[in-house]
Chains A and B, each alone.
Chain A
Amino acid sequence: MEDQIAIKVTNLSKKYGENVVLENINLEIKQSSIVCIAGGSGSGKSTLLRQIIGLEEPDTGEIFIKNEKFYPAHYKKREIIRKSFGVMFQMGGLLASMTLRENIELLLRTYTSLTDLQIEEIVRIKLSSVGLEGFEDFIPSEISGGMKKRASLARAMTIDPEILFFDEPSSGLDPTTAASLDNLIKQLNKALKTTMVIVTHDLESIFEIADEVYLLDNQSHTIIAQGKPDILKNSENEIVYKFFNRKF
């Protein structure tokens, strides 16, 4: 089970107008693993994430989720597959007019037949698992940036998705909060066996949590390295070495 492929991307390319952002991307992400997609600013990390989760359509290439074709595929099939995703967006993406409770309840009331008591219990469990119990009735503007990110994570994992995507989870967070978020990601992966795909350029996070890293290059717009972070740190490729050792 551990070696089954959760996400497979083949020959994916994307450009905006004449501006090539992604070129011939190939990757395979194993089920229940924590994989980081790293790269410098403008290397197309977030763009790649948007293609994989289906927010944008690539120009060429194919995407498979658990051996099912996700792209190209009929939009209804894509919608069904997308329900197995949870996404934590860079800015949180919490619905500003709703409380944290309502943000989480929204999914439960739409996709499940839980009773009110069960829903209340899930909201409590999810918020407490990210250290936010007691903040159920706060709206996003009443909590800090770090809390928003954690609330966004609670919402992303509301109905226990099989794959969790994170877009720059530690950006804008203080080191302690970033470390606690890393720890939470590891714990969730261990307990729920969720596949985690994390877009980041935070080296500390990468070395702390990643089972495997894909490095995107902002010159060639493609993946130039793949492997365990400790191995990539000693890479003979100059660009890879510089990235993982913070050299310029």
Chain B
Amino acid sequence: MKEDEKFRTCELRLERNEKSLYCYFSGDFVFSNSKIINSYNLKKNLKDIDNFIVDLSELNRYDSFIVSWLNVISSYCKNQNIKFQILNMSEDAKNFYDFLKFQNVKVPKLKETRSLIINFFEYLGNTFKNLVSDGISFVNFFGDTIISLSKIVWSPGSIRWEDFPRHFISIGINAVPISVLILFLIGLITGYQGALLLKNFGADIYIADAVGIALTRELSPLMVAIIVAGRSGSAFTAEIGSMKVSEEIDALKTMGFNIQDFLVMPRMISMIISLPIVVMFANIIGVLGGLVASLGTLDITMTGYLNRLQVSVDFNDILSGLIKAVIFGFVITLIGCFRGMQVSGGAESVGKYTTSSVVTSIFHIIFIDAVFTILFPILGI
């Protein structure tokens, strides 16, 4: 016996007798032998045959594979008008085969197969329907948030202030290191690129204007908002979504708690207070990044840079960045919590809405930033 045949535990022997093909099987008809059994090209041998007979007198072990093999072959024989027969099947194997064959009841498919065009229009219709219902839910959620926010003014005790420090640390303090690091690099890049341009015109000192205004008005609030949307907005969705999956939200509702006051407001207040603070840190570090780039590439001094910064960046520049930060904070929390409330089903849904929360937040942040860029000069800010 060859070494590779030592562990061969099954064999198929085919014998042709005029218009009949006999298949003698010996050994184990199990999943682990499927490669050996399927290597016999039966279909090739089933040409010009009237009868196909499978003899299982030497069958040893078996599992569901034998049922699938026999069913596939018998279907093929039926299609080819070949009479199919099983011989010498043991009582145990027959019981096993009958048990699984007994289940051979076709149930009408619940999912209809449709043409691609109908599927496409169905998809379009469903997408539009979902967008409309999404929009209506969002407007409702927005309205509830505004009501809860205004309630805080005349009844500050209506929200859970116990949660405020936890959220403030998580949203604000924990976001400072990564925000300032990124803004330092942004300041460095802006400073370096600006320096290359301004050097050509001998306007070295105006690098402070470029870096200062770009950072305070645009880059700091925008970048910090994007970072916080990725860190905290997604966390809001995941936290609230998980609570929804584990029926915590339902429990709160049945205990008479207002979800907006209990879950959304502590996050909202923490966010709109902490985001401007992080932006202030980011402004300072970003300007320092610009300074490092300027000192390395231009003929200016640190005092000159800082003096020019004092002249060029006024209160309105900083204020416009901080106003944006407050609005961005509001939008991130609104979208993060709204997406969390949309979660239904299981863990997969939490992941889906968390991703959606980040993408939607970033889109809205950039859209609102564009609106403010046009609006602020008109308002004189």
Known: A96-B347, A191-B95. A114 touches B104 (CB 8 A): no
The binding surface of chain A is classed by DSSP as helix
Q: Does any Cβ of A come within 8 Å of B31's Cβ?
A: yes
Q: Is B105 part of the contact surface with A, judged by Cβ < 8 Å?
A: yes
Chain B 1-56 interface residues, beta-carbon cutoff 8 Å to A: 30-32, 34-35, 38
Residues of chain B with a CB closer than 8 A to A141's CB: 345-346, 348-349
Assess whether B64 is in contact with A126, with CB atoms less than 8 Å apart: yes
**Is A137 among interface residues, defined by CB-CB distance under 8 A?**
yes
Which of A2-10, A47-55, A115-123 has 4 or more CB atoms under 8 Å from chain B?
A115-123
Interchain CB contact under 8 A, B104 and A128: yes
State the 7 A-B residue pairs at the shortest beta-carbon distance, nearest first: A113-B35, A191-B99, A160-B63, A134-B107, A121-B68, A128-B103, A96-B348
Partner of A125, one of B32, B34, B103, B345: B103
User: In A115-159, which residues have CB < 8 Å from any B CB?
Assistant: 115, 117-119, 121-122, 125-126, 128-129, 133-135, 137-138, 140-141, 159
Q: Which of A83-128 contact B (CB under 8 A)?
A: 96-97, 108, 111-115, 117-119, 121-122, 125-126, 128
Please, which residues of chain B bring their CB within 8 A of the CB of A113?
34-35, 38
Residues of B within 8 A of A129 (CB): 99-100, 103
Closest to A91 in B: B346
Answer yes or no: A187 CB below 8 A from chain B CBs.
Answer: yes
Residues in B with CB closer than 8 Å to A128 are 103-105, 107
B residues near A108, Cβ cutoff 8 Å: 31
Contact A160 B31 (CB under 8 A): yes
State whether the Cβ of A231 lies closer than 8 Å to any Cβ in chain B: no
Per the bound structure, the CA–CA distance linking A115 and B72 in Å amounts to 10
Q: Are A114 and B347 in contact (CB under 8 A)?
A: no
CB<8 Å pairs between A and B, sample of 24 = A112-B35, A112-B65, A113-B35, A113-B38, A114-B38, A118-B38, A125-B71, A129-B99, A129-B100, A133-B105, A133-B106, A133-B107, A134-B107, A137-B111, A138-B111, A141-B349, A159-B31, A160-B30, A160-B63, A187-B99, A191-B95, A191-B96, A191-B100, A192-B99
B348 with A118: CB separation less than 8 A: no
> For B68, what are the chain A residues with a Cβ–Cβ distance below 8 Å?
114, 118-119, 121-122, 125
CB–CB B105/A112 < 8 A:
no
Instruction: Tell me if B280 is interfacial: C-beta within 8 Å of chain A.
Output: no
Contacting A at CB under 8 A, from B311-351, are 345-349
Residues of A within 8 A of B345 (CB): 141
A118 to B66, CA, bound (A): 10
Give min CB distance, A150 to chain B, whole Å. 12
Question: Roughly how many angstroms separate A122 CA and B63 CA in the complex, as a whole number?
Answer: 11
List the B side residues contacting A111 at CB < 8 Å: 31
Contact with B along A47-82 (1 / 0, CB 8 A): 000000000000000000000000000000000000
Q: Tell me which of B32, B65, B108 contacts A118 (CB under 8 A).
A: B65
In the assembled complex, the Cα of A187 lies from the Cα of B104 at a distance in Å of 16
Q: Across the interface, do A121 and B71 meet the contact criterion of CB distance under 8 Å?
A: yes
| Assembled-state Cα–Cα distance A19/B90 (Å) | 53
- Residue interface mask B340-372, A partner, CB < 8 A = 1: 000001111100000000000000000000000
Indicate if B110 sits at the interface (CB-CB under 8 A). Answer: yes
Assess whether B99 is in contact with A134, with CB atoms less than 8 Å apart: no
Whether B107 pairs with A118 at a CB distance below 8 angstroms is: no
> Which residues of the partner chain B approach A112 to less than 8 Å between Cβ atoms?
31-32, 34-35, 65
Q: How far is the CA of A160 from the CA of B68 in the complex (A)?
A: 13
> Across the interface, which residues of A come within 8 angstroms of B65, CB to CB?
112, 114, 118, 122
Q: How far is the CB of A222 from chain B (nearest CB, A)?
A: 32
B30 to chain A, nearest CB (A): 8
In the assembly, what is the distance between CA of A75 and CA of B106, in Å?
Answer: 43
Query: In the complex, what residue of chain B is closest to A119 when comparing beta carbons?
Result: B68
B109 at the interface (CB under 8 A from A): yes
Closest to B347 in A: A96
Residues of B within 8 A of A191 (CB): 95-96, 99-100
Once bound together, how far apart are the Cα atoms of A187 and B100, in whole Å? 11
What's the Cα separation between A118 and B108 when bound, in Å?
A: 21
Known: A121-B72, A129-B100, A187-B99. A134 touches B31 (CB 8 A): no
Task: Give Cα A122 to B108, complex, Å.
Answer: 18
User: Cβ of B69 and Cβ of A118 under 8 Å apart?
Assistant: yes
Chain B positions within 8 Å of A118 at CB level: 34, 38, 65, 68-69, 72
Q: B185 interface residue, CB < 8 Å from A?
A: no
Residue B67 lies at the interface, judged by CB distance under 8 Å to chain A: yes
Roughly how many angstroms separate A114 CA and B38 CA in the complex, as a whole number? 7
Known A134-B110, A160-B31, A191-B95; judge A117-B346 contact (CB<8 A). no
Minimum C-beta distance from A51 to chain B (A):
25
Chain B residues in 8 Å Cβ range of A97: 348
User: What B residues does A137 contact at CB under 8 A?
Assistant: 111
- Min CB distance A183 to B, Å, is 13
Residue of A nearest to B32 (CB): A112
**Complex Cα gap A115–B64 (Å):** 14
* A125 & B110 in contact (Cβ 8 Å cutoff): no
How far apart sit A160 and B280, CA to CA, in the bound complex (Å)? 64
- Separation of A88 and B35 alpha carbons in the complex (Å): 28
Residues in A neighbouring B35, C-beta threshold 8 A: 112-113
Interface set, chain A 158-214, CB cutoff 8 A to B: 159-160, 187, 191-192
